[in-house]
Amino acid sequence: MATVTYNEDNIRSLDWKEHIRLRPGMYIGKLGDGATADDGIYILIKEVLDNCIDEYVMGHGTAIDIELTDGMISIRDYGRGIPLGKVIDCVSKINTGGKYDSKAFKKSVGLNGVGTKAVNALSNFFRVQAIREGKTKVAEFSKGVLGNDFKIKKTKEVNGTLVEFKPDDSIFKNYKFRAEYIENQLWNYAYLNAGLKLNFNGKTIYSKNGLLDLLTRKTNGDELRYPIIHLKDEDIELALTHGNSYGEQYYSFVNGQNTTQGGTHLNAYKEAIVNCVRGVFAKQSYDVKDIRASIITAVSVKVEEPVFESQTKTRLGSNDIGPKGPTIRTFINDFVKEKLENYLLRNEEVKKALQDRIEQSKKERLDIAGIQKEARKKAKKANLHNKKLRDCRLHFNDSNKKTPEENRLRTTVFITEGDSASGSITKARDVQTQAVFSLRGKPLNCYGLTKKVVYQNEEFNLLQHALNIEESLDDLRYNQVVIATDADVDGMHIRMLLLTFFLQFFPDLVRNGHLFVLETPLFRVRDKQKTFYCYSETEKQDAIGKLRGKPEITRFKGLGEISPDEFAGFIGDGIKLEPVVMGEDTNIDDILSYFMGKNTPARQVFIIDNLKVEKDELTEDEVEDINEDIEAQLEAKLEEIDPVAA
C-alpha cells in the first residue's frame, strides 16, 4: 500500500472566490440546471434581490427592475447605491458590507456579507454599477476575477445599484432559467413588501394587501369554506382559510425571505392554530389532522438578526424574536390566541364554516380508518414478496457522513409501466441514488373519487407506500418523483392518469416541486462517425445536416427500445427533466375537470393540436382517425397530453 504523506505541502489556503467555486453548495445549496425552483441559479437571483429589498425596507426606492435575456439576469434597484469607494470590496471581499451595522439593517435578510460575492464567483460575467448623488462607479468580473475597473464619473441617472450576471456554465451545466420560477419568486417579494413594484420583462408585479393577496391568488377559483382571514401587527402577519382539496398548504416568511423549508416560526404557527381552534371549540377535542386538513395559510414574521440553518435561508433556526424579546413560539402563540380567537368569536358564520370543515375531515378520516389498516397490511406483504419497487441503496442512516436529509435530496424514483421499460431503466440507473417503481398496466382514472381509492386500489396503495407519503409529505422518501412513460399515445395517457392521482390526492408534492416528467429522445441519428440523440423533429433534421455519411435514423416509440447502455446517458448527468409546475393562478379543479372530466369538442381539438410526438408523422386523414378514435373510445383513452403543456 502506498504511503500517503502529510506535511506543510498538504496545507492549502484558498482565497474567497476559490473557496466558493470549490464548494458552491455551501453558499447556494444544490446546483441543478434550473429544473427546480430551489436550484442554484435562482438562489443567485435571490442573493442580489435580497439586497434590493433591504434598501426598500429601509425606505429607499419603490421599484426594482429585473430582466432575463439569453441566460443573463439584470437587476436594478433605486435605493441609495453602494458607496462608490467600496463597490469592488462589497462584491469581492468576504465579510464586507453595510449590514454589519445592525442599526441600519436591524431586521435584514442578508447579514453575513457572502451572497453577492457568491454570485460574482459563480458567474462567467458579473457587472456591478453603483449610482450615487450624481456619480457612478462600474466594475466587471469573470468568475470572481476583476476584469475592468472603471473610473468614477458623473451621471444623471437616479440613485441605485445595477447588477448583471450570467452563471458559469461550467458549474451550472446545461442550465436554463425558467421564467415562471422567477415570477413566482418575485410575487413572494411583492406580497411581503406591499407597495413595492417589481418590473420583470415588461410585466409589473405588485401587491397592495400583502398576504391577503397571496392567498387570494393561490386560491384563485378554488371553493373556500370561508372568506380569507387576514390579521397583522408590527412584526407578524397571517392569512388563513380552508378549502376542499386534500393536503395542507403553508407559505412562511421571515424578514421577507420565503422559508420553503419552514423552521421554528412555522412549527410555532402550526401549533398555535391547533391551540386556538381547540380553545374556541373546547368541548370537541378535535384531532390535529382534522384541524389542519385542507388548510391554506401564510405567515410572516420579522426577527432581529435571524439565524438560518443554511446560507440559502430556507429554514429558520432562531428561537427568539430579538435579544430582549420573547421566544418565537411564545410570540406567535400569543398573537394567534388573541387575534384569531377573537376574530372567530366575533364572526359566527366563519366559526361555523370552520367547524363544518373540521367535522367533515373527521368523518372522512374515520370512514377510511379500517381501510387504511387493511391497506397497510397488503402493502407490507407486497413489499416483501414482489419486485414492484427496486429501491436505491442510499439509506438515510448510512455511514457516508451525510445527514438523512442530505441523502434524501440525492434520491430519485422513476415511475414506469411495462416490463421492458422498467427493465431498461433498472439496468441503466445509479443503484445508489435512483429507484424504480413499476406499474402494472394503466392506473385508474381517479378524477372525482375520494381518498378511499388510494387504499382500495392496489397500484395506488403500493405507490403511496413506496413514496412514504401516507401520513405526511414531510416523510417523502425521494426528493424527485419522475414519471417515465413512452413517447406515444398510451404513454401520454398513463402520464395524465398519474398526474391526476398526484394533483387530486397529493397536490403538495407538485406545489413543492417534487414531480417531474422524464424527457427521452424520440430519434437516434447516426453514421459511422457520429451519433445524435434528438428530442424533436427539428433536432432530427439538424442532426442529419451535421452528418457526412448516410444517416441511420431510429425512431424510439418505447422506453424498452432504448438499450440500457444508451439509457444510462439519459438518466445520468445529462438527464432532462421537465418539472410539473403549478403557477400562481393554477386551479387544480379546473385542470382536472377539463382533462379528465366529460368530453368536449374544445378538448378534442386541444389534444390533437398537442400530440407533437406523433402529429409530425401523420397525414391529415390519420389525424382525423385519431380524433374519431378519441370520440369513440372516451372511456378507454382519456387524455393524451399533460396539463403543463397548456
Give the Cβ contact number of residue 81 at 10 Å: 25
- How far is Cα 542 from Cα 520, in angstroms, rounded to an integer? 18
For the 16-206 domain, the top CATH level (class) is alpha beta
What's the mean pLDDT in 342-356?
96
| Global confidence as pTM | 0.76
Range 211-365: architecture per CATH: 2-Layer Sandwich (3.30)
In this prediction, residue 226 has a pLDDT band, given cuts at 50, 70 and 90, of: very high
Residues in the chain: 646
- Asked if pLDDT for residue 67 goes beyond 90, the answer is yes
Q: Give residue 197's Cα distance to chain centre.
A: 24
Phi, psi of 243 (to 5 degrees): -115, -155
In this prediction, residue 14 has a pLDDT band, given cuts at 50, 70 and 90, of: low
What are the CA-CA distances from residue 116 to residues 89, 165, 166, 168, 311 (Å)? Answer: 11, 11, 13, 15, 12
pLDDT: is 126 or 468 the higher one? 126
In this prediction, residue 96 has a pLDDT band, given cuts at 50, 70 and 90, of: low
C-alpha cell at 76: 436594478
Choose among 613, 487, 497: nearest CA to 560. Answer: 487
- How far is Cα 216 from Cα 537, in angstroms, rounded to an integer? 42
Buried b or exposed e, range 165-178, using 16+ CB within 10 angstroms: bbbbeebbeebebb
Report the range out of 101-110, 548-557, 584-593 with the highest average pLDDT. Answer: 548-557
pLDDT: is 543 or 598 the higher one? 543
Q: Strand, helix or coil at 563?
A: coil
- How far is Cα 278 from Cα 128, in angstroms, rounded to an integer? 53
Percent of the chain with pLDDT over 70: 82
- How far is Cα 148 from Cα 483, in angstroms, rounded to an integer? 47
The whole-number pLDDT of residue 630 equals 45
What's the mean pLDDT in 12-28?
79
pLDDT: is 370 or 172 the higher one? 172
pLDDT digits (tens, 9 = 90+) for 282-296: 889 899 999 999 999
pLDDT digits (tens, 9 = 90+) for 502-545: 988 898 898 888 999 998 888 999 998 999 988 888 899 999 99
What's the mean pLDDT in 34-63?
90
What's the mean pLDDT in 422-451?
87
The whole-number pLDDT of residue 588 equals 65
pLDDT: is 387 or 474 the higher one? 474
In this prediction, residue 312 has a pLDDT band, given cuts at 50, 70 and 90, of: low
In this prediction, residue 122 has a pLDDT band, given cuts at 50, 70 and 90, of: very high
Across the chain, mean pLDDT equals 83
C-alpha cell at 591: 385542470
Domains 16-206 and 211-365 share a fold: no
Q: β-strands 389-390, 160-167: how paired?
A: unpaired
Spell out the alpha helix ranges (H) of 169-252.
179-192, 211-218
Choose among 105, 119, 218: nearest CA to 165. Answer: 119
What's the mean pLDDT in 242-270?
89
Choose among 587, 30, 16: nearest CA to 312. Answer: 30
Range 369-520+577-645: architecture per CATH: 3-Layer(aba) Sandwich (3.40)
Q: Strand, helix or coil at 294?
A: coil
Identify the weakest region by mean pLDDT among 113-127, 245-259, 370-384, 485-499: 370-384
- Asked if pLDDT for residue 618 goes beyond 50, the answer is no
Residues contacting 202, CB < 8 A, separation 6+: none
C-alpha cell at 149: 475597473
Buried b or exposed e, range 539-572, using 16+ CB within 10 angstroms: bbeebeeebeeebeeeebebbbebeeebbbebbe
Choose among 559, 414, 610: nearest CA to 498. Answer: 414
Domain residue limits, the chain: 16-206, 211-365, 369-520+577-645
Instruction: Decide if 119 contacts 90 (C-beta within 8 A).
Output: no
Torsion sign over Cα 382, 387, 391, 393: positive
What's the mean pLDDT in 133-161?
95
CA max distance for the chain: 82
- Asked if pLDDT for residue 636 goes beyond 60, the answer is no
